[in-house]
Chain A
């Protein structure tokens, strides 16, 4: 006898409750698995060129030095003083902290060293220098294994063990917030650690950690050191979160239980505005049952505001793991009234989009000698080739910020610009090295003048930021609009990489390449702007729509005749059978347009558009209207 399986549709909610009480322990602060082919904005690269490269691809970060390229890192008070080793680094968070990396197998040539480092000054040439911890080979001294060494030969400065097994895990542990030892360890299995060297009282706040490779005379050997991951863990107090599942009826599976507490649930709207291209999710309200005082108890020890709520849909005849994700929202507000617990949810993207850009501000705390009129200005961010030449009244696409009135230093950009081909002071071209020089430090770009510029406005043209996988071939900076949008979302708006669908941006980038406009876009963030307005401008420039798909990843897409496919996979709806009622067709004639006046090429600091265009299209509908209007005056109704 067969039993028919009933299938019910059921919405599922997974709500996160954050504990009010903090729990002390080790927590992940940062982790990079090097698996997205892009070096994250958290890293500061140093000493990279055609012979010294840092590349992330195939799930590895490889730091490489070509044969005969000079890449030493050493400070001998009476000898060699060099900091030419390629490296990437970041600032160490407040200890206690442990930093771990894994170095995979590679050909270890004579007079090379690769691994992690802890440094007071990652880019300078200083006595205090750095500690280098990793795989080394020096046939002349008989060392082939793991070495921890200070970059200054002041005894005791080095420890060595003849361990050649690869891969090798490397760790630096810093127990105290200042004057702290740094304990360098190694492991051949990632589980059991052996202490190699203790740098006594070395660490101070503001020090750096990173990954490096180096070589030295006389062989100047090549090296290609592959790192599999890098993580930083901190020991601190945190509020842990616990997840609870809810549904309109009890739903049980092997691994999950959703309590049947949902009494009321407003409709959930997800949309992409067809005109602006921006994603919209309407607020949602819920009423949950509190008859057993479940929420009365939970809310005494847990926080719900701004916590995530994931909305799913499931069928009762399918596995719980096959539930489909609809949307993730956050709790905006809640109220408790007797047996009812009411929640108001809003879209999670609002926490990224409702902010001002550029994010960083020039403050007196960071720049004590800043020009008074420039206090509080936003640090410029530039992508693409930003240029306005002397044919305009005020040349220079970006205005620099005067941050040091005694050294005549100006901040050009919050990040590393690929190049600054022209600088102007009150519209007068400046010469380098006679008038100024470009300085890169701490991941920022500066213009250092030889003499004071007084109250002059300093502006410049530049090639913006670089991400090797996204750069244009001509100018080695990001110019493809698709990748400008992706960079903006990931590194300027701070949307996690896990929430961005890379393949969609690659597809859009290919479209612009085929159109021949892949090196003609740019972005200048100068004055304070709403983050979602900038995104709207970028999307509108390219005619793309940006939205979070059901899988939770931010996607960009265009509807274009050149990439439109008619496919049998498209759903086919029959109105008489599948729709609840006849479809409602609307023409929205008030939105009809046949003439457009357009401006393009925006320069923020001048509020200037470089050019304009007007275009129109013949339209038979307008011709009909025009005939109606052209009545002789004597024929008009009385």
Chain B
């Protein structure tokens, strides 16, 4: 049983529940690596970064260009001059955004799409007042603010 002790607002509760389900529905995807101490001023807890990896996750097997993560922990080894980073995958955030994809490579229907496919442009009907959902109940996607 999960406790949301200090509110009785159903809107907040439902948002939190969906948030946790989206984030942990596929496990808790994390990445860990070590970098030189040179990066000490670049990272703090919770800062976002992108990781580019030839053998990284990619639906088309073309390598990972810049997958988004945020820092969960930093372990500074000053004598070895290294920082060990553990980071959390931000896919659960970005999957809620519209990222236009190649319609020849992804299924036409939301129900037929895999978890990775759903990262790309699927639309649903948005009702006024913030309602609207995909067939499985997941909320409609939103446009993310970009710099």
Contacts and interface: CB of A to CB of B under 8 A. Distances in A.
B18 A9 contact: no
A520 B7 contact: yes
A173 B124 CA distance: 72
Interface string A532-548: 00000110111101010
A272 B51 contact: no
B142 to A, nearest CB: 6
B4 A565 contact: no
B144 A593 contact: no
B27 interface: yes
Interface in B89-147: 90, 93-94, 96-97, 114-115, 136-138, 142, 144-147
A269 to B, nearest CB: 4
B70 A559 contact: yes
Give the secondary structure class of B's interface.
Answer: mixed
B58 interface: no
Nearest to B8: A601
Interface stretch (A103-111, A351-359, A613-621): A613-621
Contacts of A582: 33, 53, 55
Contacts of A621: 25-26, 115
Given A545-B46, A584-B33, A313 B7 contact: no
Interface string B34-69: 111111111111111111111111000000001010
A579 to B, nearest CB: 5
A522 B6 contact: yes
Contacts of B22: 617
Given A265-B79, A326-B76, A578-B36, A593 B5 contact: no
B24 A515 contact: no
Nearest to A616: B21
Interface string A573-596: 111101111111111111111101
A573 B50 contact: yes
B95 to A, nearest CB: 9
Nearest to B96: A561
B111 to A, nearest CB: 9
B3 A572 contact: no
Contacts of A581: 33-34
Interface size class of A (residues with CB under 8 A): 35 or more
Contacts of A573: 33, 35, 49-52
A515 B32 contact: no
A568 interface: yes
B6 A271 contact: no
A578 B136 contact: no
Given A585-B57, A615-B18, A538 B6 contact: yes
Interface in A289-326: 313, 324, 326
A398 to B, nearest CB: 14
Interface in A262-298: 264-265, 267-274, 279-280, 282
- A-B pairs, top 9 by smallest CB distance, nearest first, are A271-B73, A601-B8, A520-B9, A11-B78, A602-B5, A588-B28, A587-B27, A583-B33, A575-B53
Given A559-B46, A561-B144, 5 more contacts: A271-B86, A564-B145, A582-B53, A611-B8, A617-B137
7 contacts: A515-B12, A540-B4, A571-B49, A579-B33, A596-B17, A611-B8, A617-B22
